[in-house]
Amino acid sequence: MVETVSIAAFISWLGDPIEDASEETFFLFSESLPSNNLGFIDSRAQELDLDVAGQSITLKQSPGLLNSQRDTGTTGAVLWKITPLVAAWLASSVSALHRAGVLRANSIVVELGCGITGLIGILVAPSISSYVLTDQTYIMKTLRENITANASTPGEQRRKGTRHVLARPSTVPLDWETDTPSLDGLGLQTDQMIDLVIVCDCVYNEYLIKPLVVTLEDISRLNRDGYSTTILIAQQLRSETIFEQFLAALMASFAVWRLRDEDLPENLQMGSGYAVHLALPKPKP
């Protein structure tokens, strides 16, 4: 999980893990939260023009898909407010995850439920070894179009006398309810280790909780030799009930920490209406 920082030092930096899902839920929802509504940026726009992390980005959405009657969900068809905030934070080389050694030049990152824009991957991929965007098949065509339109063009650049290839994120269909993730299925080699899994605003309904947690468990088992995968979960605070159910299910298999305000940008700190947690697999008994 961490090359420059030992796992013991990383856990020491995180502090004490959350002990009770109910207490954590009460603490977060007892804050005066701003009205972020459902959390769409603009659910009617076919395209969004954004400035994120110093880059001008144009992203396609699909309002028609959002309003369709798909049984497998449609929330990934548009961009949600928290996503540009997380993307800008993680794209910064001074973010807490960079300082902790989780994000570095040779990191491998997998994002679950990336949505139709792939914004986080577009911004983070050029600074790491490999970024895999995953979501359901129905968004893949537009997701790839957004990557082509916005991601760094693969090519050789000179950096301090060496040749560097700017990376684009790769895309892999992954349905939490029907698919079991594998290194090969994610387009990774058997000797590669997944450093970070990102889950950004993916829990809206209780029926998603078990499939998501099982998928996180499956991915955490892909690494060898006790190499731990860090899980980053960022979400808008909407429903106390669903949040608590998800956190309790997650804590059954993972130790979970809420990131402190000093380790987050102001727009993701307490009172913002968002919460950011890190999780590590619990040691096997």
**Which domains occur in the chain, in start order?**
38-151+166-281 (3.40.50.150)
pLDDT tens digit string along 99-140? 999 999 999 999 999 999 999 999 999 999 999 999 999 999
Q: If 0-12 CB within 10 Å is exposed, 13-18 middle and 19+ buried, where does residue 94 land? A: exposed
131: CB partners within 8 A, 6+ apart: 108, 109, 110, 111, 121, 124, 125, 167, 169, 170
Confidence (pTM): 0.91
Q: Does position 75 have pLDDT exceeding 50, yes or no?
A: yes
Residue 151 DSSP symbol? S
Question: What pLDDT sits at residue 65?
Answer: 67
Q: Does position 152 have pLDDT exceeding 80, yes or no?
A: no
User: Cα separation of 134 and 123, whole Å?
Assistant: 16
Segment holding 57, helix H or strand E: strand 55-60
* Mean pLDDT, rounded, for 162-183: 82
Residues 284 and 58 sit within 8 Å (Cβ to Cβ): no
Residue 282: Cβ within 10 Å count: 14
